[in-house]
Structure 1
Amino acid sequence: MATPPPEAPLEVNLQGRRILICRPEPEASRLARVFEQAGAEVRLLPLVAREPLPETPEQRSILQELDNFTHVIAVSPYAAKRLLEEADAWWPQLPVGIHWYGVGAATAAELGRHGLRPRRPSEGWTSEALLALPSLQNLEHERVLLARGEHGRELIRQTLESRGARVTVLPLYRRFCPYYPSETIDEVCNRFRPEVIVALSGETLNNLVTTDPGALPALQQALLVAPAERVAEQARQAGFGHILVPDGLADRDLVTSVASRLAPQAGHTGQQSKDARD
């Protein structure tokens, strides 16, 4: 297979701008490289970490019956990755006839890397956009597998059940807030004094607010990048006054949106996200 050509460098200038990225790894380091290519100074403080859940008899039973599901939905790239890794033990070739879905462009791309063709919303990449797909409207007695973390928003499950679906939730990993010594928090929040904070989920924002309440007044002066209006409103309630909801959450989209917002001539405040959260 031919190697795809490298992407052209972004035509943006963030020279000397201080960016704090709070995404999980490896997404945080990947995004940092794109910001650094634009000249930004970057610090990483992942405020959500993920670890696989131990395999259980129930999980094995669900995966062995994968061919009994009409629809399979992964809520994040990591959920898609974990699902396909676990399914491979039982299905060297995935069963045919399943409708696959991913919340967010990155999740759809992860499914695509495994040869799947997930159904894509015509507009937007949010959970709400996914739920608007025609194939997810009339689901009487149809079985749906929802691959996700141990806890999460119940919007997808509740909505599909209200449409008649028999939803099976498959928890594949847990999320938690990593521990950081006070010296690390002080260096990142107070000495580095970020101008931009990337927090792409409500859980990440909650952890940011509670990690060091003493540093919060300084952080509230930064531009907070949120994934969707729901999290933007959460940020406003937490005291953040400068919020950007970018057009998309791909790495290049994030960097371009931040550069546009920080440019002297930029007067917009961003549009609703068309991607998924972490």
Structure 2
Amino acid sequence: MNCQLRGLSVLVTRPADQADNLCRMIEAAHGRPLRFPAMEIAAMEDPQPARQLLGTITPGSLLIFVSANAVVHAFPLLPNELPLELQVAAIGEATAAALDEYGLPATLVPEQRFDSEGLLALDALSDMQNRKVIIVRGRGGRELLRQELEKRGAAVAYAEVYERRVPARNSANLVRGWEQMVDAVTVTSSELLDNLIQLLGEEGKRLLQITPLVVLSERTAEHAFDLGCRKVWVTDVAGDRGILEALCDIRNNPE
């Protein structure tokens, strides 16, 4: 892809340790990434409940990882040996890539929508009668996946292996210089958008509402519109490549 951002300044809101690749891609396309992490990821203070649950994995179980963070924080808690008949699902491509890095390739990955709805649309999950399912995730989050799998007959439990926090950040300088510093904003989840608005305050929210915003899903786009954002781009493909393509579209078609 021949993408030239031509100096476009992009606010990158991912957690600090997950922003490097996107920032490098923006720089390679002659854009200017501005890091402003709106979320922190931390291991659970007490990992024992998740460790004990993951220790109950049996042949035929389905292990669902909802994010790359879930993969990273779950692996120290997994038993040394896993059943050969274990089925592993990833919510999207980034999660599947993280599983590959740890030597546990996903056997189920959505083909189009990289979210709970996309995973639930897979034929392999249509009949879950008497299946044991462990959803590996952070503390809290959507209930759709569990609710729908239980309707299909599965016994579902959560292994919560990390928690998300709003960082302690001062946004005064960012808000003060927004019109000179920020041409576009990227957020990768509805929760991240909520955190960003909380950190920016009322004046920052007003500025965000009129700034081009790149999101990864229609669900997050709907949430952004509900919050008053007027210029929302949804990526055509998942991951950083999709974000970069959307930023190029913003650069070439700002209105």
TM-score (norm 1): 0.84
1:174 corresponds, among 159, 163, 168, to 163
Indicate yes or no: 2:105 matched with 1:114: no
Question: Which segment is superposed worse, 39-48 or 67-76?
Answer: 67-76
Alignment-mate amino acid for residue 112 of structure 1: D
**Residues 153-211 of structure 1 deviation map (CA, whole Å, 9 limit, x = unaligned):** 1111111111111001011011011011244443564552x111001111111122222
Report the RMSD for the aligned CA atoms in angstroms: 2.0
Aligned residue pairs: how many?
Answer: 253
1:59 paired to 2:54: no
Secondary structure of 1:19 counterpart: strand
**Aligned 1:99-138 pairs, distance under 5 A:** 99-118=87-106, 119-138=108-127
Contact kept? 2:43, 2:163, Cα under 8 Å: yes
Give secondary structure in 1 for the equivalent of 2:164: strand
**Do residues 147 (structure 1) and 118 (structure 2) align?**
no
Which residue among 34, 40, 55 is the counterpart of 1:43? Answer: 34
Distance 2:97 2:171 in 1: 37
Seen in structure 2, the aligned counterparts of structure 1 residues 179 and 188 have a Cα distance that, compared at 3 Å, is farther
**Structure 1 residues without counterparts, runs of 5 or longer:** 1-9, 268-278
Cα distance in 2 between the residues matched to 1:146 and 1:227: 22
Answering whether residue 156 of structure 2 is matched by residue 160 of structure 1, we say no
Change (3 A) 1:56 1:33: closer
Aligned pairs for 1:182-261 (under 5 A) are 182-186=171-175, 189=178, 191-192=180-181, 194-211=182-199, 212-261=201-250
Distance 1:180 1:113, change over 3 A: same
Q: Is 1:97 the equivalent of 2:85? A: yes
Per-residue deviation, 1:117: 2.9
Question: TM-score, length-normalised on structure 2?
Answer: 0.91
Unaligned runs of 5+ in 2: none
Distance 1:203 1:67, change over 3 A: same
Give deviations 1:85-109, integer Å, cap 9, x for gaps.
Answer: 221xx31x43211110011110011
- Which 4+ runs in 1 deviate beyond 6 A? none
Q: Secondary structure at the match of 1:225?
A: strand
Q: Is the 8 A contact 1:225 1:246 kept in 2?
A: yes
* Contact in 2 for aligned 1:190/1:215 (Cα 8 Å): no
Which residue does 2:4 correspond to in 1? 13
Aligned to 1:167, the other structure's residue is in SS state strand
Which residue is 1:7 aligned to?
A: none
